[in-house]
Structure 1
Amino acid sequence: MSSYRDVMDGIPSIDGGYADGLIEFIRDTVRGSGCNGVVIGLSGGIDSAVVTKLAVDALGAENVINVFMPSSTTPKDDHRCTSEFSSSLGTDYRVIGISPMVDAFSSALGLDDGDRLEKGNISARCRMIILFDIAKRTNHLVLGTSNRSEMMMGYFTKFGDGACDVVPIVNLYKTQVRELARIIGIPEDFITKAPSAGLWDGQTDEDEMGILYKDLDNVLSRLDSMGDAKISEITGVSLEKVSEIREKVRKTAHKREPAISP
């Protein structure tokens, strides 16, 4: 997995050799665990599509379970595109709606319709309950779909979409995931779709974070080696935004670490 090539924007480029390394990693990990296959939440986004294709190439479609878990705010087209994608690969495709679970938790906790973030977190955790339950009953591992950009920004729900047994693409920035997607043949619809966690109507990652992934990745990739002013000068991102990103990475460190113990 050492097939990195330096590119002008500072984010390493990848080639087919990197994809081969990830496929081998998934195959070796599943075999070593003694499990039969993997379970992946298929959302309609690029990350879950990439992880699914890598898993199919590693294990065979018969050993991959895809679960589409719509809520009341999930775009209707996501059902179509996930179903077609799973069918094209031959994976076991299952649909389990989470609205009754989310509504039950929201009612018990006294949440109202304005509590969008809280309901989004509940939705993410309900989905992970489903995936781990299926994994337990089928002797499968849960493959996570988080990428490096999301992890560094803490842009995931703790014990929700951040929970998994194996996380294959966690070392790749979002822009690298797009590059990998084209290498392994992911349909263009997945690649060009605006990234969204689907937490509420019209929600997109880039709108919520206030920056495009290509600019975010250029900042994130330089945080360890440069000061904020230099990063701003090189990337064209405002100094205020660069400092905000650095602080976000610092404040969300707890989400990337094991539980704190004495």
Structure 2
Amino acid sequence: MVVKALHTITEKDVDEIVDFIRGVVKRTGCKGIVMGVSGGLDSAVTAKLCADAIGPDNVLGIFMPSVLTPREDRDHTEEMSRSWNIGYEVVNVQPAIEAFTKTLASDVRAPLERGNISARCRMIVLYNRAKKLNYLVAGTSNRSEYMMGYFTKFGDGAYDIGPIIDLYKTQVWQVAEIIGVPKKVIEKVPTAGLWEGQTDEEEMGITYRHLDIILNGMSFGLSDEQIAKDAAIDISKVSEIRCTVSKMGHKRMQAYRPDICFNDP
């Protein structure tokens, strides 16, 4: 068995995602969707899909900058929000980040730890706004990030609906082309903005193109040897990715609880 090529996204696939979003909002009785917008690909695609599903008047994008946020990101979020007519707000989360960092000073030593605090501060903003408006919170994680655990638990990993969670990053690029995300956003280097100059691919040690080939092969039950041979990727990198996916499994599941039924009939 060889590695099966990733499914190429079509307009029909996009329509199914849009229908899914519309159906969830209707089923829950909520009035709309609120989400964080960063100026990056994933949030842009998610925002446009939500706007197409329930109308731009029912979508609110909140840009939540910190001291590490480039001005370019704000410019891009403003341009897309204006072009797509979705609601747009700016909430500066830097004071909240500083307050938590000061309180937890002895436990916050690395950029990653500060990044987790930033993500959780943004989650608080989104759910506070969602509660006031009776909106759902939309997440912007893709399948590649999800499988690698490349998100913050109860931060950007906290949401009510994940429109692109089943799409690999390379497929998100395809969706972006179909729905008309600006080229300059599509071509931006993916980054979580955890520290100055940080990029997703450098931090993970692999390009999304190669990562998605490996993850896709794993989903079909192929061995490391098969994936490495068929995709022309070093087997040590395949094994490393498999190990990471396994180690990060706890981030993809609900809390552990005892299998004891005291109160069930």
2:231 pairs with one of 211, 235, 253: 235
Aligned-pair identity (%): 51
**Is 1:82 the equivalent of 2:77?**
yes
Aligned pair partner of 2:254 in 241, 255, 258: 258
Q: Mind listing any 5+ residue stretches in structure 2 that lack a counterpart? A: 259-265
CA distance in 2, matches of 1:240, 1:179: 29
Q: What is the identity, as a one-letter code, of the residue corresponding to 1:177?
A: V
Which runs of structure 1 show a deviation greater than 6 angstroms over 4 or more consecutive aligned residues?
none
1:210 aligns with 2:205: yes
Match of 1:197 among 192, 195, 201: 192
- 5 Å-filtered alignment, 1:82-161, equals 82-111=77-106, 114-161=109-156
The answer as to whether partners of 2:32 and 2:134 remain within 8 angstroms in 1 is yes
Q: Is the 8 A contact 2:4 2:216 kept in 1?
A: no
More deviation, 122-131/231-240: 231-240
Displacement of 1:114 in angstroms is 4.8
Question: Which residue number corresponds to residue 5 of structure 1?
Answer: none
**Mapping for residues 164-183 of structure 1, pairs under 5 Å:** 164-183=159-178
The letter for the 2-side match of 1:104 is A
Amino acid at match of 1:234: D
How far apart are 1:229 and its partner, in Å?
1.4
Q: Could you say which residue in structure 1 is the equivalent of 2:41?
A: 46
Shift of 1:174: 0.2
Residue of structure 2 equivalent to 1:245: 241
How far apart, CA to CA, are the structure 1 residues paired with 2:38 and 2:26? 26
Distance 2:109 2:97 in 1: 14
3-state SS, counterpart of residue 252 of structure 1 = helix
Change (3 A) 1:111 1:74: farther
* Other-structure match for 2:261: none
How far apart, in 1, do the equivalents of 2:234 and 2:54 lie? 45
Structure with higher RCO (Cα < 8 A, 6+ apart):
2
Deviation string, structure 1 residues 239-260 (Cα, Å, up to 9, x no partner): 1111000000000011000111
C-alpha separation between the residues in 2 aligned to 1:193 and 1:9?
28
Structure 1: gaps of 5 or more residues: 1-7
In the alignment, what sits opposite 1:185? 180
RMSD: 1.3
Q: How many residues align?
A: 255
How far the C-alpha of 1:9 sits from its partner, in A, is 6.6
One of 57, 63, 67 as aligned partner of 1:68: 63
Q: If the length of structure 2 is used for normalisation, what is the TM-score?
A: 0.94
